[in-house]
Homo-oligomer: A and B are copies of this chain.
Amino acid sequence: MGTAGKGGRVALATESPVPSDIACAHSVSPVNIGIIARGLGLDESEYDCYGKCKAKVKLSAYQNRVGDESKGEGKYVVVTGITPTPLGEGKSTTTVGLAQALGAHYDELENKVVACVRQPSQGPTFGIKGGAAGGGYSQVIPMEEFNLHMTGDIHAITAANNLLAAAIDTRIFHESTQKDEALFNRVVPLKKGKRVVSKSMQMRLERLGLGDKPIEEFTQEDMARAARLNIDKSTVTWRRVLDTNDRFLRAVTIGQGPAEKGYNGETGFDITVASEIMAVLALTTSLGDMRERLGRMVVASDMDGNPVTAEDLNIAGALTVLMKDAIEPTLMQTLEATPVLVHAGPFANIAHGNSSIVADQIALKLVGDGGYVITEAGFGADIGFEKFCNIKCRYSSYKPDCAVIVATVRALKMHGGGPEVVAGRPLADEYLNEDIELVRSGCSNLMRHIGNIKKFGIPVVVALNAFASDTQAEQDVIKSASMEAGAFSVQVSNHHALGGAGALDLAGAVQQACSSPEKDFKFLYPLDLPIKSKIWTIAKEIYHASDVKYSEEAEKKIELYTKQGFDKLPMCMAKTQYSFSDNAKLKGAPTDFTISVDDVRASVGAGFLFPILGKMPTIPGLPTRPCFFDIDIDTETGDIVGLS
């Protein structure tokens, strides 16, 4: 266990060239997490240690500070990115590096900076991508604990999601084999002369107008209405999940055992982070709110076309119980001992791809007036940032003080017409040598993102994530283009190579932007617009599309959701992250294109509809030689090797 240096900090001894991520991560000893927690002003009753390097922060850390206006709340900075290459442009690394710069290099900000990041899925960790703790000298540590299990939140979601799935199929099965009265007597049993009415059942009875009627006076019809959900099997949208890259589970037929024969059906598995429960976790604001959202989750329609919810299945309480620890963010630290709250990691395409509201709430209170919370939005700004504003901020009521957009010379060259970038294959020469023209041409992508962000009424700082192969001339092109597009500031940042010391300029620009008076945060659309108008607003203002086409299926769903009253929810567009359009091959800043909405689905509990543009993979596969080939443990020391 390391000891805190000056002001609780850890001094980095950076090496050049930058060693492997795990070597950087091991270059310092983490500070005991209790020291980090106390530095933030947390009382011992407000957190639970999980080993020496992780702590769960209780929601009371926020609630205890709600009344206390003297301390105020910090500045709220969101980190987003340009349209990325498949290699990623360093949003997490920049989020962590910026937090290190502010928290460990400005004396007055010590204990007043928190980074809020997402928990990664274990699927990619063992698959193609590896871990997600940042990179180089800007990382969350211990990176092994960050990438593996952490404090079990994703596992809790797997358990909750799959309990609900089992409950749906079993309910259909039992309803099909029991007569109304027998079913009612099982669901609302008589115990010692008294009917046992669960909380969910009481809610259902009230909804059916049977809340006050004595059960002994129930007619056969009352019993049937109360006990029978009449789920239309063909409408079940709830799938099972695993936090594993298992492509063979994408489409499966279940119920093929002899005892279930005749009740089989086609379904599939998603990766756990694609579960609606993950989206609920990310968007909830309190335990009570989570109980309600989990109950509102719609899993199917009944034979009359009414939505069937988790509450109807009497399972919302049990799901909340399974999620009661997961709602607490996990406190960890950067390589320079800046506090990090790790919490939630909803899929960035079929969900909104942002870390949790709860973590941001706690962080903003803990850093207080004059402090900074750096939070991260997934994918490019056309997706993650748009959803951050229109979905996350709508539910949290927070307004960002500034946005940081991460750009790289590499990605802008790709947008300027450079050859395809493929993970695992060597980069083409254009990416390794100076090519001013490619950069200049690719700046269209960055410039459009800057313009888009400004529509939300906040200043935008461009973080040019430096690579050793970048040239001054290339960087200068990006600087001019950024300012021309209306950026508040543009800064070259070397946090990968140098940690917080490499991001001091960026940190200074962010502080200035946050203090800038020119701020007027606004949503892009009001919720009471019809579904198609909300989609069109996003398509026109953010993607710069010329038209939107709807499939027959999409039209049908829009009609259904409007009828069911879900048309007042915000839109969570499920679109490729590799283009402004729905065609991953259209780089730069395309115009004159039509987007195609193939389907519209609902995450009613999380609180959004998600129009689907093209095919969205919801569970990845494993390559021939997955990351797990190299991952092993030194059985003498217990040290993990080969994790990247």
Contact = CB atoms under 8 A, between A and B. Distances in A.
A170 to B, nearest CB: 4
A496 interface: no
Given A250-B260, A624-B186, A626-B167, A158 B156 contact: no
Given A178-B624, A260-B250, A166 B244 contact: yes
A256 B253 contact: yes
Contact of A126 (B245, B248, B318): B318
B317 A163 contact: no
A109 interface: no
A633 interface: yes
A239 interface: no
Nearest to A56: B51
A214 interface: no
Contact of A635 (B149, B244, B264, B288): B288
Interface stretch (A95-103, A319-327, A482-490): A319-327
B253 A638 contact: no
Interface in A238-254: 240, 242-254
A268 interface: yes
Nearest to A198: B629
Contacts of A624: 174, 178, 183, 186-187
Q: How many residues of A sit at the interface, in one of the four size bands?
A: 35 or more
Contact of A246 (B162, B324, B625): B162
B248 A628 contact: no
A57 B103 CA distance: 34
A257 B268 contact: yes
A311 to B, nearest CB: 11
Given A163-B244, A622-B170, A631-B318, A252 B254 contact: yes
A621 interface: yes
Interface in A166-189: 166-167, 169-170, 173-174, 178, 183, 186-187, 189
B253 A259 contact: no
Contacts of A629: 187, 198, 200-201, 314-315
A321 B166 contact: no
Nearest to A162: B244
Contact of A320 (B174, B315, B632): B632
Nearest to A641: B317
Given A167-B628, A200-B629, A256-B266, 16 more contacts: A49-B51, A126-B163, A166-B244, A167-B626, A198-B630, A247-B259, A247-B260, A248-B257, A250-B259, A250-B260, A251-B255, A252-B255, A252-B256, A259-B621, A318-B628, A324-B638
